[in-house]
Structure 1
Amino acid sequence: MSDERVPKRGRPTAHERTLRRERILDAAVSAFAARGFGGTSLDDVAAASGVTKRTLYVDVGDKGALFTAAVEREHDRIRAVTLRSPHALLSAATEIVHVLHSDRAVALHRAVIADAPGFPELAERFYETGPGHSIAVLERALSDQTRAHDRATALYSLLLGERHRRRLLGLDPAPTRAQAAHHAAASLALLGLPLDDRSPEPMARGF
């Protein structure tokens, strides 16, 4: 019988850790959507993502940190656009509509609304890492900083508004990027804010 042994696997690479974290967050969003924040356990998320609870703690943290990380991941997509083109207001507005009306973002929004009375700190963290972050992104993208916060808040309200309410109620599907761009451009026009040099595609029916 050979004395050779199977060598122990080394530490996961940075890429493997990133993929594992994405898998954990995907499982968390699915769990929060199905059972809410209060009804979701770390054991549920660990089992669904194929990791141990210890790994989940090391990679992300407790359940509150897991929810916050899932919310932050959606807003990182918005942040990435503004980092590439920090003063392109239409780009930022389009990405906000496209991301925040997505199935994943809507699932998280529903979960926090349902559990906000019992978990007020969760609701506060959600606002800071969600709406608060998006308003700050729009504020930085405004070329004219006069009353920038007030105008960014008004724009954010238009970018979500009734269309987002219909998404929360499950009445409309998530918008395509072309639909998101059209809605963003229309919202900017209502507030008299300038577009950048790109024109959105025509909006399809249904959004």
Structure 2
Amino acid sequence: MKADANSTSGSGRRGRPSAESTRLRMAHLLEVARGIFVRRGYRATTMDEVAAAAGVTKRTLYAWHSDKEALFRACVMLGAERFPRIEPQAGEDARAALERYVLELHRELTCEDSYGMGALFLREAAEFPELAGSIQRGHFDFMVEPLAAYLRGQGLEEEASTERTMLFVAMALSPLHNAMLVGMALPGTAGVAAHARRCVSIFLDGSRLR
């Protein structure tokens, strides 16, 4: 009788891992790599260190990611895929949806690994300009463009443009940028909520004081 491909044979050899098993191992590897990049920085991180920490062989690591830059790009995309999408709830108008979006965006981007990856880029971008492409792609594809699509549907963004969207994102993320660039403290929950209301008010109503 022929042995099942995933069973252990009499010689002790195991079958090839399933697609789901491989997917989980690849996801685990990226989580481990993100943590190492955040702790040690891009320059100091080595492929050998990542392979050992993730429990995979160097051969496997290089089969999945051809070099450290490719691994970093994959780590950036993993984080970008976690950016919140603006999905209005029943009965929610644009003001409420945008305020909630800003809150969710801050919640995600102040997580230790997300914040750490952003800080890493600011520290090492001058030395490794090749990192910029993956950061910009993740920012645009997973944050700017989905938000722009929503705003166009609300009549708040020009067709084939993301200019107003990028202005809104810049306002929304200003507390994080202030923390990373000039060392200001990140606001607490109440501060983020107040910031979200101000951002949306300026975006929808203008900045004239009443």
> Aligned equivalents of 2:15 and 2:100: distance in 1?
42
Contact 2:32-2:50 within 8 A present in 1 as well: yes
**Which one has the largest radius of gyration?**
2
Match of 2:133 among 111, 116, 124: 124
1:192 is paired with a residue whose SS is helix
The structure, 1 or 2, with the larger RCO (C-alpha pairs under 8 Å, 6+ apart) is 1
CA RMSD of aligned residues (A): 3.1
**Aligned 1:1-207 pairs, distance under 5 A:** 5-78=10-83, 81=85, 89=98, 92-130=101-139, 133-142=142-151, 143-144=154-155, 146-147=157-158, 149-166=162-179, 172=185, 183-192=195-204
How many pairs does the alignment contain? 187
> Aligned equivalents of 2:56 and 2:43: distance in 1?
21
Q: Calculate the TM-score normalised by the size of structure 1.
A: 0.73
Q: Relative to structure 2, which stretch is displaced further, 162-171 or 148-157? A: 162-171
Contact 1:135-1:156 within 8 A present in 2 as well: yes
> Aligned equivalents of 2:15 and 2:181: distance in 1?
44
The percentage of aligned residue pairs carrying the same residue is 30
Q: Which amino acid aligns with 1:122?
A: L
> Aligned equivalents of 2:201 and 2:170: distance in 1?
14
> Aligned equivalents of 1:34 and 1:126: distance in 2?
18
Question: What stretches of structure 2 of length at least 5 have no aligned partner?
Answer: 1-8, 89-93, 206-210
Q: Which amino acid aligns with 1:22?
A: A
Q: Calculate the TM-score normalised by the size of structure 2.
A: 0.72
Question: What stretches of structure 1 of length at least 5 have no aligned partner?
Answer: 194-207
C-alpha displacement of 1:172 = 4.9
> Aligned equivalents of 1:33 and 1:155: distance in 2?
27
C-alpha displacement of 1:7 = 4.1
C-alpha displacement of 1:180 = 6.1
